[in-house]
Structures are given as C-alpha cells and as structure tokens.
Amino acid sequence: MEIFNHDSNIHFLGMRKYTVGLAILLMIGSIALIATRGLNYGLDFTGGVSMLVNYEQPVEIADVRGALAKGGFEGAVVQSLGGTREVSIRFQAKDDPEAIQANGTVNLDRVSADVMAKLHAARPDAKLKSRDFVSAQVGAELKSDGTWAALLVILGIMAYLWIRFERRFAIAAVATEIHDTLVTLGVIALVQREFDMTVLASVLAVIGYSINDKVVVFDRIRELFRLARKAEPEEILNRSINNTLSRTIITSLFTGITMGAMWLLGGPAVHGFAITMLIGIVVGTLSSIFVASPILLWLGVSKKDLMPVTRDNPELARRP
C-alpha cells in the first residue's frame, strides 16, 4: 500500500535551510512559551482533595461531573473505578474557599460535606467511602520524576542508536527528539491545556513514537549507503526519505485516526492523552521528513561510517 511512488524524487534536502530554520524557531518559541506562560499543571502535580464515592445504583460519570459543576466544582476530575458504582473525585482545595482554614490547611470534614451535599442533590444514594488530601510537595516530586523519566528515555534512545547505527545518527535522533518534545510542550503551554499524569504519559509515548519513524529512515539510509557505491550522501539521504515516505505518512495517518477516535469516544479522562499524541504525531512526522536527515548531512555522515569493519574479518570484506 503506497501513497507516494517508491521511486519518487522530491528534493527534501533542498529545503533544509528553511525547514531546519523553522524547527529552530519553533523550539525557541516553545521554550519562551513554557518559560513565560508555563504549563497548566493539573491536580496530579499541584495537589488537592481526593474522594472516593459509592453509589447504590449504577451512575454515569457525566452526571457526577455535571452535579459537581452545578455546585461550583467545575474543575473536578471524575473517574470510574472498576465498575459503574464507584467513582474517584479530585479537585483543588481552592474550589471550596470556605473549607480553607485560617492557617492555610484544608478542613476535610467541611469540604467532603460540601461535595456530598452537591452529589446528594442529584443522587441521594451517593455515599462517601474515603477522603484524603494530597499536598503540593507530592506534586513537586511527580514533576521531578516525570522530568527524569523523559531525560532517561531520550538518553536510552541515544545509546541504542549509537550502538545500532553510529554516533552521528544518535546525535541527530536526540536533537530531533528534543525538538519534538519541546514543540509538543510549547503547544500545550500555548493553549493552556491541563498537564496531568495522562498528558505526561502521552509525552513519553510521543518520544517513543517519534523515534520509530526516524529509525525506519535511518535503516533505509544505511542500506542505501551500502548498495549505492558512487552516490553522494545528499542523494542517499534524499532517496531514503522518498523510499519511506508512504510508510511514514500511512503510519502517522492511522495512528492519528486512532487518537481521534479515542478523543471522540473515550471521554474527558483520556482527552489530554489523545490531544497530546495528535500534536506529537504531527510534529514527529514532520521532523522525521524535514529535520533528521538534514542534521545527519551537516554532521558529515558518509559511507565509511556505516561499512562493517573488515580488517580482522575477511568474510566481511566480500560483502557489498
């Protein structure tokens, strides 16, 4: 199945000054947005009140969320827990100012009573199972852990590509991964989409998805370098992008359709994940086509970098 001819010859490398320049501008703009506007951290990172509520009869999440919004808890996160009768409710304490005491602590008795009053107004069979307060310190630890997780993923990818291909490929891949991550976060900061644990998980998924596209192109580059003895590096890189273009577009298209279906049918709990993945798919696909290979070319990748060592193995010397 192909969208573009396998032997098409679109001169992507001829646009490298403009595409890489645009990529740099997007990175700078994303850093500026993150620094000035910041990420709109959700309850997972800022802390807040967590409650578990049981219902005697099955309940719709939308009805619980609507009852809370009607009572003033518009930012509450409502999720079903293992069935249709138990729900988790999380919200920031500032949503109930009267529950905040003079010393800044939260009166859990007061806030839980306020929430249950709103729920009972819609469904008298609601019963409080448990309640808890998550401090901002826990949220700060989650931020730190999430940052370290992203860095370790990128470093792991760099080590893998260094071993499998060559250091120039590893450097190009990490540069584009940083670009994809920053631009994705920049878009989230621009629209002030809530950044919670599901969005963090999708950012890590974007890193993995993006590198998959680049590895496919890198594999083709290595193959063509070994087959085309007299071709110049720019020609090899350009041909590799064209050879894998249909595969790249089709994979991105069907992954995007899946994320779109998740956004439409999955409910608000997965909206953040789906939207972040859609942003990452678009950014990662474009960087695979327009950014990764130009970086390889500027790093000076050549045929000799990818040929097997033959000094101590005569058998390898006979291979093309």
CATH code assigned at 175: 1.20.1640.10
Q: What share of the chain is helix, strand, coil (3-state, %, to 5)?
A: 70, 10, 20
**DSSP code of residue 308:** P
Q: What's the pLDDT tens digit per position in 267-299?
A: 777 888 999 999 999 999 999 899 998 998 898
In a domain, 315, yes or no: no
Are 238 and 90 in a shared domain? no
The whole-chain average pLDDT of the chain stands at 83
Domain that holds residue 124: 48-134
Continuous segment of H or E residues that includes residue 90: strand 86-91
Averaged over 134-148, what is the pLDDT? 75
Are 184 and 288 in a shared domain? yes
Q: What angle do CA 137, 141, 145 make, to 5 degrees?
A: 170
Rounded-to-integer distance, Cα 185 and Cα 187, Å: 5
Which range, 26-30, 159-163, 175-179, 251-255, has the best average confidence (pLDDT)?
26-30
Question: Which among 85, 114, 134 is the end of a domain?
Answer: 134
Averaged over 239-252, what is the pLDDT? 89
Question: Tokens 């409650």 map to which residue?
Answer: 51
Are 74 and 217 in a shared domain? no
Asked whether the predicted pLDDT for residue 98 surpasses 70, the reply is: no
pLDDT for 131 equals 85
Are 158 and 216 in a shared domain? yes
Are 275 and 130 in a shared domain? no
Rounded-to-integer distance, Cα 197 and Cα 194, Å: 10
Averaged over 80-109, what is the pLDDT? 71
CA distances from 211 to 16, 173, 229 (A): 20, 7, 27
Domain count, the chain: 2
In a domain, 316, yes or no: no
Q: Is 292 exposed, middle or buried (0-12, 13-18, 19+ CB in 10 A)?
A: buried
Q: Using alpha carbons, select from 43, 97, 96 the residue that is nearest to residue 73.
A: 96
In a domain, 5, yes or no: no
Structure tokens at 58: 């099955």
Averaged over 65-88, what is the pLDDT? 82
Rounded-to-integer distance, Cα 286 and Cα 76, Å: 36
Residues 6+ apart with CB under 8 A from 208: 153
**Total length of the chain:** 320
**98-108 as b/e: b if 16+ CB within 10 A:** ebeeeeeebbe
Q: How many C-beta atoms lie closer than 10 Å to residue 84's C-beta?
A: 13
**DSSP code of residue 230:** S
Which range, 12-26, 43-57, 95-109, 156-170, has the best average confidence (pLDDT)?
12-26
Question: Which among 134, 152, 174 is the end of a domain?
Answer: 134
The share of the chain scoring above pLDDT 70, in percent, equals 86
Q: How many C-beta atoms lie closer than 10 Å to residue 319's C-beta?
A: 10
Are 164 and 252 in a shared domain? yes
Structure tokens at 256: 């995007």
Rounded-to-integer distance, Cα 52 and Cα 50, Å: 7
In a domain, 204, yes or no: yes
Are 143 and 130 in a shared domain? no
In a domain, 184, yes or no: yes
Q: What's the pLDDT tens digit per position in 169-210?
A: 888 888 998 999 999 999 999 988 888 888 988 998 888 888
Question: Which among 91, 107, 134 is the end of a domain?
Answer: 134
We report the CATH number of the domain holding residue 75 as 3.30.70.3400
Are 164 and 280 in a shared domain? yes
In a domain, 182, yes or no: yes
**DSSP code of residue 196:** -
Q: Using alpha carbons, select from 226, 232, 233, 231 the residue that is nearest to residue 306.
A: 226
Are 195 and 62 in a shared domain? no
pLDDT for 317 equals 46
Q: pLDDT confidence of 316, banded at 50, 70, 90?
A: very low
Continuous segment of H or E residues that includes residue 200: helix 197-227
Rounded-to-integer distance, Cα 262 and Cα 257, Å: 9
**DSSP code of residue 125:** T
In a domain, 18, yes or no: yes
Are 146 and 268 in a shared domain? yes
Structure tokens at 38: 């910041």
Q: pLDDT confidence of 61, banded at 50, 70, 90?
A: confident
In a domain, 317, yes or no: no
Are 120 and 219 in a shared domain? no
Q: pLDDT confidence of 23, banded at 50, 70, 90?
A: very high
Are 124 and 147 in a shared domain? no
DSSP string, 272-306: HHHHHHHHHHHHHHHHHHHTHHHHHHHTT--HHHH
